[in-house]
Structure 1
Amino acid sequence: MSHQTARPEPGRPIRVLIVDDHAMVADGIRALLETYDDIDVIGTLRDGQDAIDRCADLSPDVILLDLNMPRMNGLQATEILRERHPDIAVLILSMHDAPEYVATAMRHGAAGYCLKDQPSDEIRRAIDMVVAGNRYLCPGAEEALEPAADGSEPLTSREQTILLLLAKGRSNKEVAHDLDISVRTVETHRKNLKRKLGISSTAGLTRYALEHGVLQGTGLLH
């Protein structure tokens, strides 16, 4: 699985943005990465909302993003960052190695999942892989991405939100306005919804939402 990322020009350092609400952790990772001449740590931010607000100005190649943060967690931030900046790789840097954490992060659009207690050279390898457009998973995490027993793909929280709005009769343009994303991004989500659910029409999506209680806010897929 590869991600659409813009590789740095030859000779330019990899621009890395660290987002973690624990200052000691962020400073420690920054110190590790600054030992590499070809990595430029362009900043450390404290939560996902800060990352979204500052991303366009800072123009990172890779964002190292913690999962558990105030205001906006890493999963929500990853989805929005991937929508608005598909050329930037989001690398989750977490202390949690449980398969469900890894799988959920990757479903939300992360290019990789790295553990905070890994050696600095492994974190460096993760950065190199996602910048090159490849997926990185921490050792032992591959089984987390095995498909469900029925072969289905779970919907992300963003896809569930878009399904709800479409089922309420909102147009692509209205959904884009509501979520502050582009119409093209909504169209991509709509295609992914149809593919994942095996549904060929918008009417079918509405019917699915009705049958599964989406319009009553009872959730959808895990």
Structure 2
Amino acid sequence: MPHGQMPKMTSGRPKIAIVDANTLAVLGLKNILQNVMPIMTVDTFASFEEFSGVSPDTYFHYFVSQPIVLENRSFFSGRIQKTIVLTISKDPNAQLSGFHSFCINVSEDELVRDILKIAQFGHAGGKNLPDMPQILKKKILSDREIEVLSLIVQGFINKEIATKLSISLTTVITHRKNIMEKLGMKSVSALTIYAVMHGYVDINKI
């Protein structure tokens, strides 16, 4: 397969690789990736040697720590479209030229937004990915709850949501409680993932 070319789906779920020696960072990123892109299988590797021994060209994307990319630059330069460099700084001067960089030293909400952008724009509107499982596509919320959810993830507080939708503050709080109970989610980050993946809100508005 030519370097950088996306692997074709044959059977099973598409795969993402995380290559980083930082176990805590890897586990946290894997958890968020699996929540954002539940159709993907996420494999983790502590070293380039471990990663290179498992047919790396079968992966759709690599999330790789900057030191590992630097040490194996020729390999990743040939697969630059698939490589996402994990950095601890947002300073452009500290990032590798030509590579897409992803700062992991930010809040969970910001990490989720950045990963959602990759999911939303990195695959031609999702055309290169298999369809979402039916269980994840089912409409669980009412139309009004979807309106409230959209405003929540856009950062509006309860009082602002009440004003925008011309409903009482108590009604907003009730909707918010019902949304979290129906979806089994307790954080705004989780709600954000759900809203974007179901097309209830544009990532640019978050």
**Class of the TM-score when normalised by the shorter of the 2 chains:** 0.3 to 0.5
Give TM-score scaled by structure 1 length. Answer: 0.44
Q: Which has the larger radius of gyration?
A: 2
TM-score normalized by structure 2?
0.47
